[in-house]
Amino acid sequence: MPKKNAPDGSKPKVNNPNVMGLRAEVLEQPITDTLETNFMPYAMSVILSRAIPEIDGFKPSHRKLLYTMYKMGLLTGARTKSANIVGQTMRLNPHGDGPIYDTMVRLSKGYGALLHPFVDSKGNFGKVYSRDMAYAASRYTEAKLSPICQELFRDLDQDAVDFVDNYDNTMKEPSLLPTTYPNILVSANQGIAVGMASQLCGFNLAEVCDATVAYLKNPDCDLSSILLGPDFPTGGEVIYDQAALEEVYRTGKGSIKIRGKYRYVKSENLVEIYEIPYTTTVEAILDKVAELIKSGKLKEINDMRDETDLNGLKLTIDLKRGVDPDKLMAKLYKSTTLQDSIACNFNVLIAGSPKVLGVRELLEEWCAWRTECVRRRVYFTLGKKKDKLHLLKGLKRILLDIDKAIKIIRETENEADVVPNLMIGFGIDQIQAEYVAEIKLRNINKEYILKRVQEEQALRDEIDDLEDLVGSPKRIQKLIVGELEAVKKKYGQPRLTSIIYEHEITAFNEEDETPDYPVTVFLSRHGYFKKITPQSLRMADVQKYKEEDGPSQSFETTNKAEVMFFTSKQQVYKCRLAEFDDTKASVLGDYLPSKLGMDQDEGVVGMVLPGDYSGALLFFFENGKAARVDLSAYATTSNRRKLTGAYSDKSPLAALLYLTEDRELALYSTEPRALIFNTALLSPKTTRTTQGVQVMTLKPKYHLSEVKPVEDTSITNLPRYRCRTIPAAGALLKEEDGEQMRLL
């Protein structure tokens, strides 16, 4: 029995004797308490301090690295060894040199993961499109900050953002970087936290600036007409899907299709792929193509190789003679990661809470945050101006009677008494007196005095203007718009990823690639399947079967036809005849349970060629029931190869027939009795697993054994066995009509 808590609410103590004969106290701790005290702090730390970006577009690791480089003077200075930067960053980031250098690599120009890299690198930093191209060690590479980083640190020294202590309280670091443009939408970012993740794709800087300006002027503007779609540093093409884009813009979640670019070199009969999707690598594409060639599904290619060099990425495909390059690339787009989807999950930390935001909501949050940054910057400047005006007021008061000031200073015996005596003599405060006392003797002239008086008036005008700016949201908005337009003009660049529309795409149709010719298919009772051409049948038409096996079904059809195999476990397997190799009558053929990957002890009970999925299937069960199911119930929009619940499992299946039009069928029972009825008496059902209706009533000892079309039976006296309504028991089978049963 579980132990109850003590009256005072404390947890019970369990005393366990140990080997020394002493008794040790063990405290019971519920798993919920363990999770709350141990796991939850870790989860919150990962979410808030590691994996999820904030409104400035950076994770803490990015921010710490860039701020360290800024303090090292790498915004305007020369490059330094990456190892130096990594070492300095460890004062803010205690996670080790490996992760810090990994962060620098991702932000670098050499790696190419960002549209606007923040690290101007020199040396081997690897490539985002290569899985195997490793970057060099930090002692070999060099780096500095890119020019665009000026937009990250421009307001940093003007109290635009808060500063917090580092992990050991020895220095300060910014909680956010006051970016002058929505970097959260420009720089791609992804992270996996505990119980949540974030996936932000990058957009073109010029488009983002235009969209932000449009939003500031009209929050209800049409963003999709300005932000055409994501832009990726690896180029490629975004397949424009308005509904998918609007879903991403509205909810912050969804997926966008992208694909690579290629060109056909006619003189050499080869295709060059020079841009690939951001989500894949050249090695992944080459491996998949090699797999397709090995499996015989890609016969149009002689060779494919990686010819990437200093000029950029290039995958070259040598084509066989007569191959249409556009059709081949359509096939590769469908079969490889040359066409891929990038998932979007705009999960961002807002005021310490993770939120999934759409593009409009992100712009709203960024504009509000940027407005606060600008207001703090203006307050900072205003305070400096007011402090300077305060000093000039004191200076002006002294300069009106400079002889008195000189006399006070000259008659003061101790240096420490100069400032107090000036304060008393002119009625000024200590700060003003300190400022006056530090003026050089050479500056006590008429020209200096006049300039200071004029500067005071100009300073008053500036202060009035700044105070008006702080209290005017429209002026602050205008200031932000000006900054955005300046960023666009200075750093904007054309889209790297072009837009392509659905109607411009050559779709790959697998059926068009499949050769079509007449074939005859054979299914044996034990599940062996053969597809034979008419030429092979003319040469030898004697079918080979295993011992105790024999023919079950055969049809004349074409190589492009679809086939359905129904099994003993109420499942149906759908495939194309083209997936089976042409064979000869002298071989056993493909063993379907192995070929189709059936379950253990699962066998084939029937084969159907659905064609256009018209007509119906008739299922006859040993209990005498029959179900008529429209064949359209087995049609699927996707290429599903296996359907469960193909028919009812309430009674063993006795026969399966494909019906294109109503006809008469003969049912045989083990009594033996026979019953002839018209299939028009069976109404179609919409549910595949229906038990159907009773057709033949049976005595307890007997069951339905076989079903045949009337014309395939040896019954001569048809009226004896024919019924007008169902269910019916049928008639005992006479000897002259029983040849069919004797052959069973």
Cα-to-chain-centroid distance, residue 364: 24
**Strand locations in 494-649, DSSP E?**
498-501, 518-524, 528-532, 551-558, 562-567, 571-576, 590-591, 604-608, 616-621, 625-630, 642-644
How far is it, in rounded angstroms, from Cα 485 to Cα 462? Answer: 24
Give me the phi and psi of 454, to 5 degrees please: -65, -40
Among the listed residues 42, 140, 501, 517, the single catalytic one is 140
The residue behind tokens 């602050």 is: 476
Tokens representing 348 are 């961002």
How far is it, in rounded angstroms, from Cα 500 to Cα 708? Answer: 57
How far is it, in rounded angstroms, from Cα 480 to Cα 473? Answer: 11
- Name the strands in the sheet holding 693-694, side by side, starting at the edge strand that comes first in the sequence: 653-659, 616-621, 625-630, 693-694
DSSP strand pairing (237-240 vs 498-501): parallel
Q: Are 184 and 53 in contact (CB under 8 A)?
A: yes
Task: Please list, in sequence order, all residues whose beta carbon lies within 8 angstroms of the beta carbon of residue 505, skipping any fewer than 6 positions away.
Answer: 239, 330
Instruction: Give the CA count within 13 Å in the CB-facing half-sphere of 643.
Output: 19
Cα-to-chain-centroid distance, residue 258: 12
Residue 499: how many other CB atoms lie within 10 Å: 13
How far is it, in rounded angstroms, from Cα 344 to Cα 335? Answer: 23
DSSP strand pairing (339-345 vs 253-259): antiparallel
Would you call 435 a catalytic residue per the annotation? no
Q: What is the largest CA-CA distance in the chain?
A: 151
Task: Give, as one character, the DSSP assignment of residue 728.
Answer: B
Question: 519: part of which helix (H) or strand (E)?
Answer: strand 518-524
How far is it, in rounded angstroms, from Cα 347 to Cα 354? Answer: 6
Residue 656 pairs with which residues in a beta bridge? 619
- Angle at alpha carbon of residue 111, lines to 110 and 114, rounded to 5°: 105
Cα-to-chain-centroid distance, residue 620: 48
**Strand locations in 185-276, DSSP E?**
189-192, 197-200, 237-240, 253-259, 261-265, 270-275
How much helix, strand and coil, in percent to the nearest 5, is found in the chain? 40, 25, 40
The residue behind tokens 């940027």 is: 370
- Name the strands in the sheet holding 590-591, side by side, starting at the edge strand that comes first in the sequence: 551-558, 518-524, 528-532, 590-591
SS3 453: helix
Nearest CA to 338 out of 291, 274, 265 is that of 274
Nearest CA to 79 out of 112, 122, 108, 117 is that of 122
Residues labelled catalytic: 140
